[in-house]
Amino acid sequence: MLAPFVQPGHRLFELARAGKRLPHIALAIPLTFVFVLAAQVGGGLPLLLAQWLVFGDRGLPRDQPLIHGAAIALFLVAAFGPIFILLALWLRLFEKRPLWTLGFERDGAAWKYARGLLVGGGMFAASVGLMLPFGYVAPEAGLPEREGWFALGGVLVIFLGWMVQGAAEEALTRGWLMNVIGARYRPWLGLLVSSLVFVVLHGLNPNIGALPLLNLFLFAVFAALYALWERSLWGICAAHAAWNWMQGNVFGLQVSGSAETGPMLFNLAEAGPDWFTGGAFGPEGGLAATVILALAIAALALLLALPRSAGP
């Protein structure tokens, strides 16, 4: 499947082989879920409890965008940040290699991250752009205190949380799972398994359906191909963060089924058929996102087919 584009000696697979051992696929898959569950229970739940003790039944202060954004950012850090700790411990104790071998080499990191921000943000903006000519997105009435320039501080702060969330998911599914399976078995198997696991990890999200599941799989394939093309994880970590941030806090739309997006620059709502706009799941669950993701995958397949010297 990937043979014409990615050889077993690809840099990311070489990094995965830097340790003394690679886990069996029967261990790697369940361990991925263990890492996520442990991070949510060990970090996310205590933070939710702490926020409940502070804010009580009234919930987060939506009329104070900076505090609101900081609270959501802290939750994202607490719920996903521990994944890095668990991965670092696993790599050191079992595989005998450092965390940076997941694809976090220093060379060109800043440029790759900046480029990833443009790619992820541009792709989501293009998804919204596909809905505009049909009138499928429209301004929505909301709290003036939590949107527009007044909310800019909160919008910027919450991006820090998306940075951690996006990077944690990419480090686990693309940086670790894809590469240990691809290095031990075949590259195509690593891509396929990591993409399916990514879908399952999001399978309990609110308002899930067939098209959202398809788009989650397409996003996972896009993310895998982007990491393989760049031979690094920096860019796709940035693209993942930018995608979620643009969706929830720039355009004010649902993120993977969640209605709690925090402060936003624009407050838009889907005004067209759910099959095109994504409905309650958000635009990444609609046909507009399907088109953008399919085009991005096709472009990356072409780039991977170019000679190695033509890469990033």
- Which residue ranges in the chain fall short of pLDDT 50? 1, 310-311
Residue 291: inside a domain: yes
Q: Is residue 1 part of a domain?
A: no
Q: What pLDDT is stored for residue 22 in this prediction? A: 96
CA distance 77 to 168: 9
The predicted pLDDT at position 6 comes to: 60
Per residue in 240-254, pLDDT (tens digit) is: 999 999 999 999 888
| 305 class by beta-carbon count within 10 Å (0-12 exposed, 13-18 middle, 19+ buried) | exposed
Is 305 among the domain residues?
A: yes
Question: Does residue 5 lie within any of the structural domains?
Answer: no
Digit-coded pLDDT (tens) for 215-244: 999 999 999 999 999 999 999 999 999 999
Query: pLDDT value at position 60?
Result: 84
Residue 93 pLDDT = 97
> Does residue 6 form part of some domain?
no
Report if residue 274 sits inside a domain. Answer: yes
Structural domain of 137: 11-310
**Predicted local confidence at residue 310, as pLDDT:** 47
Token code pair at residue 74: 């802290």
Instruction: Identify whether the C-beta of residue 72 lies closer than 8 Å to the C-beta of residue 161.
Output: yes
Q: How many domains does the chain have?
A: 1
Q: What is the pLDDT of residue 308?
A: 63
